[in-house]
Structure 1
Amino acid sequence: MVRIAWAPLRRRWPALAAVVAVLVAAGVVAMIGLTGDRPETPTVTGATAAAPTASPSSAAPTTPPPGASLTGPLNLLLVGVDTRVSQPGWEPHGDAVLVLHVPKGLDRAYLFSLPRDLLVDIPAFAKAGYRGGRTKLTHAMSYGSRVPGKPKQPSAAQGYELLRSTVSGYTGLRIDAGAVITFGGFDKLVDTLGGVDLYVDQRVVSQHRRPDGTHRDLRPGGGGYVGPQMVYEKGDRHLNGWQALDYARQRYVTGGDYTRQRHQQQLVKALVSKILDEDLARQPDRVEQVVAALGDTLIYAGGPRIVDIAYALGGMSPDRFTAVGLPGAGVGRGSGYQGEQLTQVGRKFLTELRAGRAEAYLAAHPELRVRN
């Protein structure tokens, strides 16, 4: 069976969504690399580490705006992870892996997801003592996070390095910057923007939350959860932070993980559209305030500074932001299931994207466009 991989806060700090939505990556944990240099190894900084940037009002008339040197193309990686901080030694998994490709000129963008169970070649990674192998994409984050001699102190920033190399090798795209965000960080992201308006395209019953937003209890002895369940009925809905995250992370629905990827993409696109419509990304002081406020719920792996990327992409029209669903199919069956692979149509999209022919390819394959 062929399935389509539709991947996927209060007004005071609205550019918070710009940090993640513009970096679309990841889906997803502390700020890194706020200097203009591209670090070889991401280093985690806290809320006080945001570098001051002159506001437009205080800059000299000849000072270029943030991001003026960015012309594209840009490839940004967003990773969503569940770190399960309550469990010592829990290794982060790449539960959501999204890539944003912005062609030269920065006047349009393409967002696509890679299935978490996509079978890929993960390269050797000496920092984690990993020898390399062919397995599911989600494991690149966990294998890369292992710190020799510190089994109970996995590093999500280090895990991102291996995931970035794996995604780059599979897609053939150079990753210029990226972000990793935890579930808790995404809650904060959406709430800071005042919530998000989404069209719920099918009835979704939550596995994780009660109607009041509290977490459901684990079933005694394991095997799922018990208690009342939050239900998202089909139709136009305004969702707050925990609702948006809960809705977008459900995969025990019709279409499984491919439906979850679609919902993630729709959510990110809704956030980006809100940012672009209100010109929020072109307020550098707000972007930096938000970056500092996120603290250790976000890892930024750059690359260009967040304020530069947000400002450079802030002039893009929302209708030039295209979410793309890549067709995929399972490898193996039943107990012999090995993972997922993209179909020829899905793999061909990546080829055409690299060649600058994505728009023509989508015109020939309109079914790949994710609808709101």
Structure 2
Amino acid sequence: MVGDRVAKSSKSGNRRRAPLWARLCAILGAVLMVVSGGGLVTSQVLVARYAGAVETKDLFGNAANGATKASDIKGPVNILLVGIDPRNTNAAPLSDSIIVVHIPKDLKQAYLFSIPRDLRVEIPPFEKTGFRGGTAKINAAMSYGSSIGNGKHDVAQGFDLLAKTVSKLTGIKKFDAGAIINFNGFKDIVDAMGGVTMKIDQNVKSEHLKPNGKPRDRRPECAANNCEHPYIGPQAEYKKGTYHLEAWQALDYVRQRYGLPRSDYDRQRHQQQFIKAMASQALSKNVVTNPVKLDAVLRAAGDALIFDGNGHTIVDWGLALKGLRSDDMTLVKLPGRSIIENKKYLGEALEPSADSFFASVNNDTITTFLIDHPDFFQKL
């Protein structure tokens, strides 16, 4: 069972100013506002020290077009966030989580929705790799776009094809910013923050880890990774309630889908809840007023992200979204179903109503849509 339970009467985080996931990607700019007046370091030093720590790459294939920077960031904006699990650095990357953040014109609210990783979609042709296009699970798009020859892969180039695939699915013509999040790097961020407090909404057993956080033993017959459930032995467990989780517990919990009633849909919800919990804690007083902890968090954030602000720096984005709080974040669930043919699982499909939701994203009318369709609100 996870660590010490937090009392239900706790008010921690309810009134603290906090960034959303996009600001977590732009955490450098967000904390700049807090620390620069605190006498720790000058704002110029923060910009130079931490903005340079985040790796920036061309994630949208715009470099050849000479993308230019506008005078400021104006809404509405759409941000594409992709989580990868780089356990095998020699293999083609797969997007383990795909999240779109829509921020309306007034920049006062943020809506997050997840794209199921097993969603069967049309992936467009991609000249850079010679991919001719076709229908496949969406998490394969990054793989199809990443090859650079000689068995090597460029995750940034793969992001470009994934972004084009998500655009084709949702109708979003372009993304204003994007980030690739390394799950191993996020573990370091949570470690640097001293863990994260979050609500666990259902009992979950870990497919991967023991109660002490060590990897579970593997069945001998599954050495070649050809078993659906290759692990045996004791499992880490996460019970319903509100807990302060260590980094390995939080990351393990949000990775689980086996044994859950709605499989990947439950996992999507848990990942969104984790995002909101991290956002609430990233700028909490026990982080921003502790120079040692703040420095560790910022350094870990730099190691965890590959960022493309489409001409704007990560600091620009942090400052543009400085007014957003975790309470301004709305989690959205897309209705979907499994595709089964001849008793074989082929992937996921969205219900037709998802098209109406995507239209509201493009029209910047999500608020009205959600009032009329409350079933799209994600359960917290």
TM norm structure 1: 0.77
Q: Find the residue that maps to 1:125 and give its secondary structure.
A: coil
Residue 162 of structure 1, CA deviation: 0.8
Structure 2 partner of 1:269: 276
> What amino acid does structure 1 have at the position aligned with 2:237?
V
1:26-57 residue CA offsets vs partner (Å, 9 max, x unmatched) = xxxx944389x987259xxxxxxxxxxxxxxx
Is structure 2 residue 262 aligned with structure 1 residue 240?
Answer: no
Residue 336 of structure 1, CA deviation: 4.0
> Of the candidates 330, 333, 337, which is equivalent to residue 341 of structure 2?
333
Task: Judge conservation of contact 1:332–1:338 (CA < 8 Å) in 2.
Answer: yes
Is structure 2 residue 256 aligned with structure 1 residue 250?
Answer: yes
Q: Find the residue that maps to 2:306 and give its secondary structure.
A: strand
Task: Judge conservation of contact 1:21–1:272 (CA < 8 Å) in 2.
Answer: no
In 2, Cα distance between equivalents of 1:15 and 1:361: 24
Structure 1 partner of 2:267: 260
Residue 342 of structure 1, CA deviation: 1.1
After TM superposition, which residue ranges in structure 1, 4 or more long, deviate above 6 angstroms?
14-17, 286-289
In 2, Cα distance between equivalents of 1:213 and 1:158: 34
In 2, Cα distance between equivalents of 1:104 and 1:114: 23
Task: Judge conservation of contact 2:26–2:318 (CA < 8 Å) in 1.
Answer: no
Structure 1 partner of 2:43: none
Q: Find the residue that maps to 1:167 and give its secondary structure.
A: helix
| 1:225-236 superposed matches below 5 A | 225-236=231-242
Evaluate the alpha carbon distance shift between residue 334 and residue 314 of structure 1 in structure 2; reply closer, same or farther with a 3 A threshold: farther
Structure 1 partner of 2:191: 191
Evaluate the alpha carbon distance shift between residue 163 and residue 278 of structure 1 in structure 2; reply closer, same or farther with a 3 A threshold: farther
| 1:143-162 superposed matches below 5 A | 143-148=144-149, 150-151=150-151, 153-162=152-161
In 2, Cα distance between equivalents of 1:323 and 1:357: 15
How many residues get paired?
A: 320
Structure 2 partner of 1:308: 316
> What amino acid does structure 2 have at the position aligned with 1:299?
I
> What amino acid does structure 2 have at the position aligned with 1:363?
I
Is structure 2 residue 106 aligned with structure 1 residue 100?
Answer: no
> Of the candidates 4, 24, 39, which is equivalent to residue 19 of structure 1?
24
Task: Judge conservation of contact 1:82–1:183 (CA < 8 Å) in 2.
Answer: yes
In 2, Cα distance between equivalents of 1:95 and 1:68: 34
| Unpaired runs of at least 5, structure 1 | 1-13, 24-29, 43-66
Evaluate the alpha carbon distance shift between residue 359 and residue 295 of structure 1 in structure 2; reply closer, same or farther with a 3 A threshold: closer
| 1:153-172 superposed matches below 5 A | 153-172=152-171
> What amino acid does structure 1 have at the position aligned with 2:274?
L
> Of the candidates 361, 367, 375, which is equivalent to residue 359 of structure 1?
367
Is structure 2 residue 56 aligned with structure 1 residue 33?
Answer: yes
TM norm structure 2: 0.76
Q: Find the residue that maps to 2:101 and give its secondary structure.
A: strand
1:83-131 residue CA offsets vs partner (Å, 9 max, x unmatched) = 223xx63111111100101111211010000001112111111222211
> What amino acid does structure 2 have at the position aligned with 1:364?
D
Q: Which has the larger radius of gyration?
A: 2
Residue 295 of structure 1, CA deviation: 5.3
Q: Find the residue that maps to 2:164 and give its secondary structure.
A: helix
> What amino acid does structure 2 have at the position aligned with 1:360?
T
Task: Judge conservation of contact 2:61–2:157 (CA < 8 Å) in 1.
Answer: no
> What amino acid does structure 2 have at the position aligned with 1:145?
S
Structure 2 partner of 1:181: 181
Task: Judge conservation of contact 2:94–2:142 (CA < 8 Å) in 1.
Answer: yes
Structure 1 partner of 2:48: none
In 2, Cα distance between equivalents of 1:21 and 1:330: 35
| Unpaired runs of at least 5, structure 2 | 1-17, 29-52, 65-69
- What percent identity do the matched residue pairs reach? 43
Residue 233 of structure 1, CA deviation: 0.6
Evaluate the alpha carbon distance shift between residue 366 and residue 235 of structure 1 in structure 2; reply closer, same or farther with a 3 A threshold: same
| 1:35-74 superposed matches below 5 A | 40=62, 69-74=72-77
Evaluate the alpha carbon distance shift between residue 235 and residue 279 of structure 1 in structure 2; reply closer, same or farther with a 3 A threshold: closer
CA RMSD of aligned residues (A): 3.1
